[in-house]
Amino acid sequence: MKLLITGATGYIGQRLSALATARGYEVICATRHPGPAPYAWLPYDLRGPAPECPAGTQALIHLAADTSTGADNDADDEVNAALALIRCAQQGSARFIFISSQTAEPTAPSVYGRTKWRIEQHVLAAGGTVIRPGQVYGGPERGLFGLLSGLVRRSPFIPILWPAPCVQPIHVDDLAASILAVVERDDIRAEILNLGAVQPIAFDRFLGAIAAHRVRAVRLPIPLPVALLRLLRRLLGHSLGAKLGLERIFSLVHLPPMDSERSLQKLGVQLRPLAHGMHRSGRGQRRGLLQEATVLLNYLLKRPPQRSLVSRYVRALERGGKTRPVISSRLLMSWPILLALLDTPGVLGKPDGQALAWRLQVALAIAEASPQGAQVFLGVQQSRSPVATLVALGLTAIKALTWKLAALLGRPFARQLLRESEAQREA
Amino acid sequence: MPVNCCVKVKPSVKPEFDVIIVGSGPAGTSVAYPLVKAGLKVLMVDAQASIGSSVLPTRPFLSARANDAHQWKWMIGDNFHALNQLDAVSPKLKTPTHAHVFEGFSAGNRIATDNFIGVGSLATGGLSNAWGCGVATLGASDLAGLPIDHAEMQASYETVARRIGISGRIDDDLSSYFGLDEWSQPPLPLDALHQRLLDHYARRRSAFPEQGFRLGRSRVAVLSQPLDARKACDLSGNCLWGCHNQALYSASQELQKLKQYPGFQHVQDFLVEDLQRQDGSWAVTDHRSSRRFCGTRLLLAAGTLASTRLALKGLNHSAPIPLLSSPTAAFLLWLPTMLGTPRAPAFGLGQLSFALQLSSSATAFGSTFSTTGLPMTEFVSRLPLSKRHSIELLKNLLSACVVGNLFLPGHLSHNTAALRPDGSLSINGHVHPELPGLMKTAETKLRRIYWKMGALLMPMSFTVGRPGADIHYAGTLPMHATPRIGQTDRLGEVAGLPGVHVVDGACLPRLTEKSHTLTLMANADRIARSLATTIGHQKA
């Protein structure tokens, strides 16, 4: 199973190649420069002739695009290059999959969108598949996502464009999985698939998600009327505006919403929530589990746990198919000792406390089986006078009783801690 | 005899083996020796597939705990084995190094349980890969009324005891109770807490006999001196996790020795599902690989539960039969004067044992253990405090504590085993109505007695185990002088299945409070000695 991928070293191409290789495909990069180790390389430049399609290629996935300039004669070259690639695929009797854009429109404001639309027509005529991704995000900070992340990281503000343009985000790995789903489906031919969140979200909310979950910083929202940007473009002129990325912003403003629900259903792809996808791991739940691990282990060990213990806890849970945290209260994260309010038979014995009871047992076993745990569980191996030990025991007993009393009195509060976790999970 | 002397309907295939032994645990290996020594062709099969790759601690327990960043691999397991067994009754069942010992037994042997803990092993060496190494002999009074000759048994006890290596030889109040000192190595050193207990006992020795209490060293199948290729215990404290010296006896250590006999053959990954009779001999088949072996006699040593199912299936006997197990309990002793004792390297299995007369017909037997080599998680979950404070408390408390266990005779259990129409064995756990009262008596007596030795039996720590938690099973197909269906003769031969012998715990007619492993091994040896002679005569 061979896949010939143009633009394989780009933002999407890189993730697609990795996923395809993991699924057992042989990936051939049709790129200007050789790709990294496991992939075969076929030198290819958008401006040059199409490569020879290697025998047995299942699909040619065309990701390469010229995003640098906006001149129309360059666009012709790009359309011709695509035509040559379509012929190349036909010669090798490979499927042709073209990654277009949500902005593809015959009357799109940007050259980029118009070019994509022109290529789409040729692809459809040749029986190929067109994929129009919405706002691609997640993974490494590259492409438009890289640009936006960089802006959010540097600027203390988030512009709230007015009127607010909407985007339909899709995680780069979800897109890669969707492309492979198309490769594996023989019944999808000569059609356009719209891939992105079903419900469009305001662009500033998207930037806000970058700030909250990726950059993890507070950014001040500043209203920015689109009319002001128009004025700026007029003042700067077209080419300078394009260089500053104004073109891209305008293409956003004019973005028509797309119906992605049917395409997603057809492919059987479920997109991850934006908040999860924004994390570096691409899985926000894992972060939730890591936080839970830190709380539980810190509570048991009375000090911040070693990183290895935290990740071991998460792996143990993930192995058991448990990917959602049960503890996500911010209060507990700041004061893990508050878990003593929940660590009572009154809470753990109830049906909604059983998940926590089990996780405490897991954390207990993992905490103990470490040098850090040996310190806490076995103590230093030095002789101590019985009196001193008795005093220590007495102190522990007093502490334990105090907390027991606190747990009794604070039961409504304790239940609140659990419920808070639940509410955060649902959000 | 000329082959063509008579006309046969079916060509008879001569069995490839004189004896096929099903199972390679303590019973299987013990029954093998006399047979291979008599020059018979013996096949031993067991169902061990692969033992996986388990990590053993590479240094003494305390040093490993303090320094080994990878200790979780032997404490929990690469695949988080221990976390999948959080509810298991014994820490042994959670240890990743023992995972292969218990894995797949109930499914493979089709054992279903209700209110009963049914544990067995498919592994080479069987349950002895993970046992407590407790050993004892039955005295003449224990054997009274049974079709077992005491003198024959004594000879077999000696043979087995010398072969497996036993330590604990000392002249104390339990010498006659164990009856092993003649063939044993000296005892292993006691830790400070047990030494203190023993000192107190010795000081007030006269006070205890009237309580029916006797204390002494534990007799264990653990080397205090090297034996063959095995090294002596060096107090590493890794008994629970895996002994790198092989000081703890496991029947798996016998296979190398047995293979030196030309008539012996060992086949693994062979799960016997039923027995087929064929022209006066017996065949066993492994359905997964379609391998098949044929032998003149079949010795069942697959462990009490598995052997019982095979025999009942062979008989097609579906009426419920009794299954003996030793009711058991565990408790925690605190020695207040030993508070602040530093953790020190210690032997991890029984150090001191006791026998306690509870009634005219019931004696309790138990041993006490160091808490050092155990995972503390076991204790934390039992305290009525939050875990954070439990850990803090136990850190200071446990080094002055020892854990104890206790076993009662099998007649106080009331379990049944029955073959279901689908061929599985269904086990129902019950206890004798007298048991709760006796357990209460035991707790009260032990509290009073240990208090005299300066130890407090911790309140709420005395926990009675569920039926079967002792993993001492016996007596499903008891030996009888004139066996009926569902019984065996004095050589374990199943009534109704000529040529099939049950040689493991299943044929022991009586289960006392004492550890029964050595007894079932000696009984297997006794049966094999008789069989070797019988088969020898038949062949001649």
- Tell me which chain A residue has its CA closest to the CA of residue B394: A377
| pLDDT score for B197 | 97
In terms of phi and psi (left: phi > 0; alpha: psi -120 to 50; beta: otherwise), the region of B212 is left
Q: Are B340 and A383 inside 8 Å of each other by CB?
A: yes
The Cα–Cα gap between B472 and B254 comes to 22
Q: For A383, which of B341, B385, B386 is closest by C-beta distance?
A: B341
d(CA B495, CA B486): 7
Q: Hey, what amino acid is at A324? A: R
* Residue B60, C-beta contacts closer than 8 angstroms, at least 6 positions apart: B234, B235, B236, B237, B238, B345
Of A343, A396, A407, the CB nearest to B387: A343
Q: What is the dihedral of CA A257, A258, A259, A264, to 10 degrees?
A: -130
Indicate the angle between helix axes A307-319 and A354-368, nearest 10 degrees. Answer: 130
Partner residue opposite A316 with nearest CB, options B68, B80, B336:
B80
Structure tokens at B203: 């000081």
Question: Contacts of residue B377 in chain A, CB cutoff 8 Å?
Answer: 361, 364-365, 368
Of the candidates B98, B95, B114, B94, the residue with the CA atom closest to the CA atom of residue B106 = B114
Q: Which residues of chain B have pLDDT under 50?
A: 1-12
Name the minimum distance, in Å, from the CA of A277 to any CA of chain B.
Answer: 28
Q: How far is CA B418 from CA A266, B113, B421, B433, in A?
A: 54, 11, 10, 22
A379 touches chain B (CB under 8 A): yes
Using the 8-state DSSP alphabet, how is residue B4 labeled? G
Among B344, B381, B396, select the one facing A379 at the smallest CB separation.
B396
Which residues of chain B does A345 touch, with a Cβ-Cβ cutoff of 8 Å?
384
| pLDDT for B6 | 39
What is the model's pLDDT at position A276?
Answer: 82
Tell if the CB–CB gap between A364 and B387 is shorter than 8 Å.
yes
Secondary structure of residue B374 in the 3-state scheme: coil
Q: What digits encode the pLDDT tens for the residues A361-392?
A: 999 999 999 999 999 998 767 788 889 999 99
Distance, in Å, from the CA atom of B97 to the CA atom of B79, rounded to the nearest integer, reads 12
Task: Write the pLDDT tens digit of every residue in B277-333.
Answer: 988 899 999 988 889 999 999 999 999 999 999 999 999 999 999 999 999 999 999
pLDDT of residue B186: 97
Map residue B472 onto helix, strand or coil: coil
Residue whose pair of structure tokens reads 């006392």 in the numeric block: B512
Q: What is the mean pLDDT of residues A173-182?
A: 94
pLDDT of residue A420: 67
Q: Cβ–Cβ of B71/A371 closer than 8 Å?
A: yes
Q: Report the alpha-carbon distance of residue B412 to residue B362 in Å, rounded.
A: 9
Main-chain dihedrals φ then ψ at residue B217, nearest 5 degrees: -65, 150
From the CA of A117, how many Å to the nearest CA of chain B? 52
- Which of A354, A368, A387 is most worth mutating to test chain B (most B CB atoms within 10 A of its CB)? A368
Map out the domains of chain A as residue ranges: 2-277, 284-426
pLDDT tier at A97, thresholds 50, 70, 90: very high
* Chain A residues with CB-CB distance to B458 below 8 A: none
Query: Are the beta carbons of B508 and B520 closer than 8 angstroms?
Result: yes
pLDDT band at A67 (very low <50, low <70, confident <90, very high): low
Amino acid at B39: G
Q: Can you read off the two tokens belonging to residue A33?
A: 């420069």
Q: Please report the residues numbered 362 through 421 in chain B whose beta carbons come closer than 8 angstroms to any beta carbon of chain A.
A: 372, 375-377, 380-381, 384-397, 399-400
A320 CB near a chain B CB, below 8 Å?
A: yes
What is the rounded (10 degree) CA torsion for A7, A13, A14, A19?
-140
Inspect the interface and report whether the beta carbons of A383 and B392 lie closer than 8 Å. Answer: no
Structure-block tokens of residue B10? 């079916």
Residues found in chain B: 540
Instruction: Check CB contact under 8 Å for A344 and B386.
Output: yes
Q: Which of A277, A112, A283, A142 has its CA nearest to residue A201? A: A277
| Banded pLDDT at A69 (limits 50, 70, 90) | low
User: Best of B191, B389, B397 to disrupt the A interface by mutation (most A CBs within 10 Å)?
Assistant: B389
Residue that has been written with the tokens 């009572």 in this structure: A344
Q: For domain A2-277, which architecture applies?
A: 3-Layer(aba) Sandwich (3.40)
Q: Which residues of B touch A360 (CB under 8 A)?
A: 387
Q: Give the residues across from A117 on adjacent strands.
A: none
Residues of A in contact with B382 (CB under 8 A): none
The CA distance from B94 to B61, in Å, is: 17
* pLDDT for A317 beyond 80: yes
Instruction: Write the DSSP string, A297-336.
Output: HHHHHSSPPPHHHHHHHHHHHHHTT--S-S---HHHHH-G
The residue written with tokens 């290697």 in the block is A54
DSSP states of A219-239: -EEEEEEHHHHHHHHHHH-HH
Q: Do A364 and B66 touch (CB under 8 A)?
A: no
pTM, two decimal places: 0.76
The pLDDT-based confidence of A122 (bands split at 50, 70, 90) is: very high
Query: What would the two tokens of residue B314 be?
Result: 């062979």
**How far is residue B129's CA from residue A415's CA, in Å, rounded to a whole number?**
46
- Residue B135 is predicted with a pLDDT of 97
Dihedral sign of CA atoms A40, A46, A48, A50 in order: positive
Phi, psi angles (nearest 5°) of residue B333: -110, 135
Å between B231 CA and nearest CA of chain A: 27
Q: What is the pLDDT of residue A422?
A: 61
Residues in CB range of A404: below 8 A, 6 or more apart: A344, B385, B386
> How many CB atoms are located within 10 Å of the residue B318 CB?
13
**CB B56 within 8 Å of CB B74:** yes
DSSP H or E run through B126: none
Mutate to test the interface with A, among B73, B93, B388 (most CBs of A within 10 A): B388
Lowest mean pLDDT among A43-52, A278-287, B89-98, B307-316: A278-287
Quote the CA–CA distance of A407 and A413 in Å, as a whole number. Answer: 9
A84-93, A158-167, B345-354: which is most confident: B345-354
- A244: amino acid identity, one letter: L
Chosen for mutation from B390, B392, B394 (greatest number of chain A CBs closer than 10 Å) is B392
Of B340, B381, B395, Cβ closest to residue A376: B395
- Nearest by CB to B340, from A340, A364, A389: name it: A389
Condensed to tens digits (0 to 9), the pLDDT of residues A243-252 reads 666 777 777 7
pLDDT digits (tens, 9 = 90+) for A133-150: 999 999 899 988 998 899
pLDDT at B13: 59
Inspect the interface and report whether the beta carbons of B80 and A343 lie closer than 8 Å.
no
- Of A344, A369, A375, which is closest to B75 when you measure between CB atoms? A369
Give the containing element (helix H, strand E) for B323: strand B321-325
3-class state of residue A132 by DSSP: strand
Farthest-apart Cα atoms in chain B, separation: 85
Take residue B103 and report the two structure tokens written for it. 């894995």
pLDDT at A423 over 60: no
Decide if A386 and B339 are in contact by the 8 Å CB cutoff: yes
How large is the ipTM? 0.89
Structure tokens at A353: 């406390």
Residue B329 · residue B364 · CB < 8 Å:
no
Distance from C-alpha of A34 to C-alpha of A28, rounded to nearest angstrom: 10
Cross-strand partners of B406 = B329, B366
The answer to whether the beta carbons of residues B304 and B326 sit under 8 Å apart is no
Q: What is the predicted pLDDT for the residue at A111? A: 83
**pLDDT, tens digit, 9 for 90 and up, residues B464-475:** 999 999 999 999
d(CA A286, CA A281): 8
Q: How many CB pairs under 8 A join A and B?
A: 135
pLDDT at A413: 82
